[in-house]
Structure 1
Amino acid sequence: MLKGSFELIGDKSISHRAIMFSSISQGKNKISNFLMGQDCLSTVNCFRKMGVNIEINNNEVYVTGKGLRGLKTNDNIDNLLLDVGNSGTTIRLMMGILAGQNFKTTIIGDESIGRRPMKRVTDPLRQMGAIITGKDDANLTPITIEGGKLTHIDYHMPVSSAQVKSALILASLYGDDTSFIHEKVKSRNHTEIMLKSFGADIQVNNLDIKINPVEELFNRDIYVPGDISSAAFIIVGALICEGSEVLIKNVGLNETRVGIIEVIKKMNGKIEIVDERKICGEKVGDILVSYSPNLIGTTIDKDLIPKLIDEIPIIAILATRAEGNTIIKDAAELKVKESNRIKSVVDNLKLLGANVEELEDGMIIKGKSSLSGGTIKTFNDHRIAMSFSIANLISNQSIILDNDKCIDISFPGYFNLLKKLSK
């Protein structure tokens, strides 16, 4: 069982944005509870290469911003090479900033990034005037961006993606006039909240976003709340392990991110929000969760998917302990994450003896399933690795991960925390 209380590491999405927006602001910024995962450090390294002074002291980061138009390359470099590692957030959001700069950059990443589609960002940025070239017509890395003077855009999002939306919002700061972005379904809105606090002129009306270009952004201090996507693994562990009760402190409860809490309540899970409050514009609270022996299956579809897309692998583990069917659909976006998460989850669950069916855009998990042991293929995907480490808590035999190092991408210290909570 899992017992205890702890304060969670910083939110990955917010940590990325804190570095980026601080880097293009004027003045010194302090970021507290920053996530020191490999993905976020890739963002730090990229902006250091563009002349930004970033100092790290434990989990506090000090960024001396260069201003909206102050990023630069070494005088001897006419095409700056930036390596984003495994980070989709870094590459997609950073392209929006690079499109407004007056120098050329080429972006590369690891093997996983090399498979992830980028035309969803590069095409609208080209419409705004950026010159972008790359593999498969700039759909795949390496991608080269020649930034410069951008025009405004009125863009209807074909897919629900906070990364694409954020890239276009950032590019719009450099536009010649007011830009409009229209979403089909509301995606996570950390960019809108944080950029406004830096002085950006952004107005949000339901699914419509209006961005006026600005001359500068201004420095501010940021506290990064705990990452609910990381909390999800401990939450599910407590729900499915008999005798468990865990209190997770200072977790971000942004309305666009709490889909997993909604699902757990629908599944009859024992979860409660304590001491809800706001810090730096973001809703924060403590999550109390305990063992829930009477879980029931549910349906998760398009209305909830954008609010829990990263949590679906661990929800699939939870569903194996629920009575009846859990249906996950409208989740084709899972195919273009760090791995094809639909196939990764389904194949690994079948290996462990779960009754699961793969769908074109999701899966059906038929509970309750007794899980046996085996060696899991993580596909170097941190969320797959953590999900099946939680499955190991309830399996009849040991579950072995073929790579547990990938967890450091988003949750350094994860196994130490799990060991501390295990009783």
Structure 2
Amino acid sequence: MAHPLPRSVTIRPASRLQGRIRVPGDKSISHRALMLSALAVGESRVEGLLEGEDVLATAAAMRAMGATITRSDDAIWRVNGVGVGGLLQPQAALDMGNSGTSTRLLMGLVASHPITATFVGDASLSGRPMKRVIDPLSTMGADITASPGGRLPLMVRGLCPAVPITYTLSVASAQVKSAVLLAGLNTPGITRVIEPIATRDHSERMLAGFGADITVEQGESGRTISIVGEVDLKPRSIVVPGDPSSAAFWMVAASVVPGSDVVIENVGLNATRAGLVTALRLMGADIVELDPRVVGGEPVADLRVRHAALRGIDVPHDLAPSMIDEYPALFVAAAFAQGRTIARGADELRVKESDRIAVMKAALMANGVRCEEHEDGLTIEGSGGDPIAGGAEVASKLDHRIAMSMAIAGLHARAPITIDDASPIATSFPGFFDLLHTLGGEASWG
């Protein structure tokens, strides 16, 4: 039975971490599996879906727009879709909770359908800017009325037929790319997205799997993804691999806690998501891929991670798009490395669930780690493998990745670390503390 997640949790130092665990299904793939299944004609079957609050918000929204979505006792999700162009007018506002992915991608779907949808969210999501999605969708003809600063609550009035566009991403964002491509699904003609820097490609892979007419070309200006609109999607069976963003915390934990030996099963290793594995290996991490295979069109392996003496590095900037969600965990790894780690090129962190640069700096410094803040990252002075001081309470700022990253830091600290509010973890990793206890960690709830 999963532990409840009250507001406060205290993590105590661990002597070592050992065992085999399986992380939840990939959040990015789970969102897209529900959305595209809901646009296919017929029944799709999804196995391994992440059942966190963010993905459940997507499921609720697709139900509100006409799809039939059920979960059986064996955790298989079945989706009977309405077809491209068949989304129905929702009768109430779509509550996105804390999920930026749900919001931005669903805005894309609504933008080219003849319906109007209002998007609302929690305090954290309502503080996050949506302008980067509003701009291209407005160019396609959607009428979007947002709160000041381009924030939620906002209303999208779709245009059908919408106008196909060629859009060059000004920032490396898979969510913006995906929103435009999803809008292009119900738009006559060809919609194109040009990304100068490659981002995660789950949307392209899954659209192709559902039968969309989509092509990807590499040119001098970057990758051009083209989608032909008004094509029927075919139902399919999907197996969701384990989320590399969830595996990140255990890769770091096993690397920094002496004596640790952990196997993380069924981890997705899509090249556009595997930047943290590359960065940790550059730091000297002992990560071995066992039984590499392909599951649902995605590369997967079991990862064996053993404690290793990490060293500080200058993190290559070109890794940022493939590990943007994992930077908080990387900052924790850097806190235990020998020497200085410079992790920059990640200004996107400023507009996540929290300002992850500022919040992680404050959390690490409160627990004895020396940091220097930059506009696009942090420079961190490592402990050389020794425990950090710990002993402080961390403000999670309603950010699940801050809470989990600092929980991992508490496993190798001289004094316990307290997270003021662990409840956001349920958005992406409801079984996080169960796995912590499975591996030998100790947490107590306040």
Please, what TM-score do these two structures have when normalized by structure 1? 0.96
Among candidates 404, 416, 419, match of residue 401 of structure 1: 419
* 3-state SS, counterpart of residue 58 of structure 2: helix
Residue 302 (structure 1) shift: 2.8
1:248-302 deviations in Å (ceiling 9; x for gaps):
111100000000010011001101111111122111111110011x211111243
Question: Paired residue for 1:86?
Answer: 98
Partner of 1:69: 85
- What is the match of residue 60 of structure 1? 76
1:197 equivalent in structure 2: 209
CA RMSD of aligned residues (A): 1.2
Candidates 389, 394, 408, aligned match of 1:390:
408
Counterpart secondary structure, 1:260 = helix
- Contact 1:172-1:211 within 8 A present in 2 as well: yes
Q: Distance in 2 between matches of 1:231 and 1:57?
A: 26
Correspondent of 2:228 among 212, 217, 227: 212
Q: Is the 8 A contact 1:7 1:226 kept in 2?
A: yes
Identity among equivalent positions (%) equals: 42
Unaligned 5+ segments in structure 1 are: none
Find 1:279's aligned residue among 295, 305, 324: 295
Quote how far apart the aligned CAs of 1:183 are.
0.4
Residue 95 (structure 1) aligns with = 107
Separation (CA, whole Å) in 2 of partners of 1:85 and 1:183: 29
Query: Would you say 1:411 and 2:429 are equivalent positions?
Result: yes
Task: Determine the structure 2 residue equivalent to 1:339.
Answer: 354
- How far is 1:40 from its partner? 0.4
Q: Distance in 1 between matches of 2:305 and 2:179?
A: 35
- For each residue in 1:334-359, what CA deviation from the matched residue of structure 2 results, as whole angstroms up to 9, or x when unmatched? 01000000001001111001111111
Distance 1:141 1:222 in 2: 32
Question: How far apart, CA to CA, are the structure 1 residues paired with 2:225 and 2:67?
Answer: 29
The aligned counterpart of 1:268 is: 284
How far apart are the structure 1 equivalents of 2:215 and 2:113? 24
Other structure's SS at 1:393 match:
helix
The residue number in structure 1 matching 2:156 is 145
- Map 1:13-412; keep pairs closer than 5 Å: 13-58=28-73, 59-73=75-89, 77=91, 80-136=92-148, 139-147=150-158, 148-206=160-218, 207-292=223-308, 294-368=309-383, 370-412=388-430
Distance 2:231 2:405 in 1: 44
Deviations 1:4-29 (A, max 9, x none): 11222100100011110100111001
Q: Given the alignment of the two structures, is residue 422 of structure 1 paired with residue 434 of structure 2, yes or no?
A: no
SS at match of 2:415: coil
Does the CA-based 8 Å contact 2:212-2:231 persist in structure 1?
no
Structure 1 residue runs of 4+, over 3 Å off?
none
Aligned residues: 417
Q: Is the 8 A contact 1:371 1:394 kept in 2?
A: no
Task: Tell which deviates more after alignment, 303-312 or 50-59.
Answer: 50-59
* SS in structure 1 at match of 2:372: strand
Deviation readout 1:40-59 (Å, 9 max, x if unpaired): 00101111111211101253
2:38–2:67 contact (8 Å) kept in structure 1: yes
Stretch of structure 1 that moved more, 59-68 or 206-215: 206-215
Q: Give the whole-Å Cα distance in 1 for the aligned partners of 2:305 and 2:128.
A: 35
SS of corresponding position for 2:402: helix
Query: Per-residue deviation at 1:67?
Result: 0.5
CA distance in 1, matches of 2:80, 2:402: 36
Give the deviation of 1:73 after TM superposition: 2.7
Mean Cα deviation higher: 50-59 or 95-104? 50-59
Query: What is the rounded CA distance, in whole Å, between the counterparts of 2:66 and 2:117 in structure 1?
Result: 14
Does the 8 Å contact 2:198/2:321 carry over to 1? yes
Distance 1:186 1:118 in 2: 21
Gaps of 5+ in 2: 1-15, 442-446
User: Separation in 1 of the partners of 2:69 and 2:181?
Assistant: 24
CA distance in 1, matches of 2:328, 2:389: 15
Of the structure 1 ranges 402-411 and 52-61, higher mean CA displacement relative to structure 2 is found in 52-61
Q: Is the 8 A contact 1:301 1:331 kept in 2?
A: no
Q: Distance in 1 between matches of 2:402 and 2:115?
A: 38
SS of aligned partner of 1:250: strand
Structure 2 Cα separation of the partners of residues 302 and 239 of structure 1: 22
Measured in 2, the distance between the counterparts of 1:343 and 1:60 equals 40
Q: Which letter does structure 2 place at the counterpart of 1:352?
A: N
Q: Is the 8 A contact 2:42 2:81 kept in 1?
A: yes
**Which structure's relative contact order is higher, taking Cα pairs within 8 Å and 6+ residues apart?**
2
Distance in 1 between residues matched to 2:316 and 2:104, nearest whole Å: 25
Q: How far did residue 135 of structure 1 move?
A: 1.4
| Cα distance per residue 1:319-348 (max 9 Å; x no partner) | 111111100111111010000000010011
Which moves more between the two structures, 117-126 or 368-377? 368-377
